């Protein structure tokens, strides 16, 4: 597989190698060792989620308190979505910026985003099925959102998605500035220390 860092630090696009024949296709859509080589530590997976969305549905922008936070490894097993990673770490050079990866059942790419980053996607097809591997179990008290229509962030949804369909929970979420003022957002320095602690723990386990 090929792993490429996105313009938002600590997020990556993963493109698997597919092996096809007259029976179908085989691929490895997740390899902990290859990802760990890039990220700096193995991903401690604790929950797997699947969502099914009709065309135009927008889910996000979501994030969780750190520690533990929720690093996410996301792929589309049916249909297509445009997946967004948003830098919500106060003090980051890319704060408020975002990048995208097309996840579909053709190229079968995945996206990895570290703890402390915001996540969203828009469904580009009906019955778009997205599966997530995450590093913590769901805890409603530690989960937060940012309005995906916040003009300060300025997410751009493809014309092919049609009219965005959002939940009241997401549209009622605070803007990026409001979340920052309320102290809900992680800081760049705190997140660097957290990532370093994960890298250090991994080095100790290896006896480095």
- CATH number for 12: 2.60.120.10
Sheet holding 128-134, edge to edge: 2-5, 11-15, 110-113, 72-78, 128-134, 47-53
Give me the catalytic one of 78, 84, 112, 132: 132
Rounded Cα distance, 48 and 137, in Å: 9
Rounded Cα distance, 31 and 2, in Å: 11
**What is the sign of the dihedral through the CA atoms of 46, 85, 169 and 162?**
negative
- Give the distance, in angstroms, between the CA of residue 1 and the centroid of all CA atoms in the same chain: 18
Give me the catalytic one of 12, 41, 62, 144: 62
pLDDT of residue 205: 64
| Residues of the domain holding 37 | 2-205
Residues listed for the chain: 208
To the query of whether residue 132 is one of the catalytic residues in this protein, the response is yes
- Which pTM does this prediction carry? 0.94
What residues of the chain score a pLDDT lower than 50? none
pLDDT of residue 139: 94
How many domains are there within the chain? 1
């Amino acid at each position: 597989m090929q792993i490429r860092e996105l313009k938002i630090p600590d997020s990556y696009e993963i493109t698997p190698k597919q092996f096809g024949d007259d029976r179908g296709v085989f691929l490895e859509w997740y390899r902990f060792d290859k990802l760990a080589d890039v990220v700096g530590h193995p991903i401690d997976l604790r929950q797997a989620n699947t969502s099914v969305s009709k065309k135009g549905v927008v889910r996000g922008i979501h994030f969780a308190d750190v520690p533990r936070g929720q690093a996410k490894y996301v792929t589309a097993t049916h249909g297509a979505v445009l997946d967004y990673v948003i830098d919500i770490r106060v003090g980051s050079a890319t704060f408020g910026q975002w990048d995208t990866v097309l996840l579909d059942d053709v190229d079968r790419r995945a996206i990895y985003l570290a703890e402390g980053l915001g996540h969203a996607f828009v469904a580009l097809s009906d019955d778009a099925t997205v599966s997530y591997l995450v590093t913590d179990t769901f805890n409603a008290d530690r989960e937060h959102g940012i309005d995906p229509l916040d003009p300060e962030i300025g997410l751009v949804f493809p014309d092919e998605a049609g009219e965005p369909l959002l939940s009241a929970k997401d549209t009622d979420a605070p803007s990026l500035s409001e979340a920052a003022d309320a102290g809900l957002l992680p800081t760049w320095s705190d997140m660097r220390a957290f990532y370093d602690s994960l890298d250090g723990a991994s080095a100790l386990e290896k006896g480095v």
